[in-house]
Chains A and B, each alone.
Chain A
């Protein structure tokens, strides 16, 4: 039995960097309104509201409070979903910082534009690009603050008895390849693209939500076709439609390989995955399952999963000096 390794150094720091930024959403406009109260018009003539329906400042500020609770729930759920994966926690922290700063900047620019004005004023042309630039800088800053990450533990033992092992002669070299279509991922991507289209024309003029839905949709669609390769260097999954984007698993990060029966698991979340693991499971046919040293699993549906697992175990045994491989 393998222990789940502790791989959580710096988790509290990344959690704080994830949870704190949404509070900027109400704080920035609140501070601006408090500081410039005497130089602002009586009503909040902000771009998203028609001038004749503009509310008072207190009412407008109160609309910034409920998103904090929503984002806290979303980001905390994402963080816990990736609780065993520091790399993804770092991405969540960067995303939380970037999105929160972008939303705070949107409100901040709207208030700043109204300083010393008596009524509605158009947003300056530089406001949009400035929001993007500030969001990027905030995301990059949070990314740097969330690092460095703890190193993943390396496996040293040979595969346990009972797992399939390919009988490879000492001089033999082998490569295993397989490709799959992920129909569920394709449908999810299409749904996100539909949501982005609907949001762009019907729901909101705010760009971050629409852009994120569109980006997620494109990212999912481009993940629909995957290629698995196993050779002497390790295991690699690539996305040919996504410019050959790939994720490699060196043998140091693998404890052993096994085969799961047909339909034994639902999809583990693609190239990103979650705390339980990552990979591509189509729900049909056997599944190659790799136990990783960080306590997670890599899963991949392939018709000849037995051969794939046998090659991984043979390569592990060879790399770790076990006899007979």
Chain B
């Protein structure tokens, strides 16, 4: 089936003219038609555009003009502004918004020949770990519990639609953004690969901002190599983003084949969370064993400020969000609810436009920045953030990469963890420190738990050393030989 191919395989097939880009796109559009009503992975499907782009790709292939992604059908998280295509950020407040510009990352993918199938569902403004906060409805995880097939599981979040679409073979890859784990956690929950690159590697220009200092665009795909191919196109210096790094983009795909012989892999003992399922601890140990067998050395390493990561994150991220989301005021674009006067217009528009989780974070953020609380919360959080960063700097003086579980649990069901926001926030405990430090991290599927649900391991690398991350992740991928597939997927009757 065309939908089962990896990006690397499809690329070769297209170049060898074994099938057309149109056929490849049509296969994915058919899968979307069949499964999206159930999975709700896409907010907007752009079938006509996709077919037109596929035809353009076929014409280019016929002329022998090939770019890295010519004809490859992808999903784009609906947080990336796409010119002429509605961009909602999963929020009612942006439901009527059609950007007149294309984000740098999505423009880079189009430059390299990609086909966009549509805009993937997400937690509202990327705030969430379950995709349950989307104003456009929840996304169903295509995986099922072995013992309880009736339970509807969450795909993780915030990039839940991206992860579910790639896992269910509705797209070959997808863009995501990761502010506290929003690529790695859904990748882990959906049994696919996803990388949050170094801060500054991928431009944030044209990506609807959640927390500017923590937001990282990155790719999802079903293999480590495919992620490397996608990141190679997405990455690059962008003078329109002042925090973009002016560094060359290496050949990530080549790095996947490097192997891990002679690498020192750190094992942070602080990631042994209390109450963590035995399956996850066992998988972690297995991952370390695989790396040793492949010639790496594993060493225990301290990351002493890990336990403060989550609290720090939940001060800094809402603080930035409260300011970033001030522009949604009903005056210039998006939803407007008319009012008696300006203040009334603001209040009605924002009350109608923002869901409860977004409102909660705006209020938390406004509070921690307020006069009298700033020093105790925001300023202190910034100091702790510096300590978390130093933990990683110290660790990388001794090791080349770190290996941890991606999440403290497998995918949970809709309704679970919903009674207490803090329970939900705990999902990000292993992923958040990387966002605070800006270091790259990748989730790679490594096994199944007792329920038959996928679990991911997280590879953490030095700033701008995604190559080592890919090398280690690829080694785990080879050793794990992860071949399980979700129950709901293209070609399977749902």
A and B: real partners? no
Q: Which residues of A contact B (CB under 8 A)?
A: none
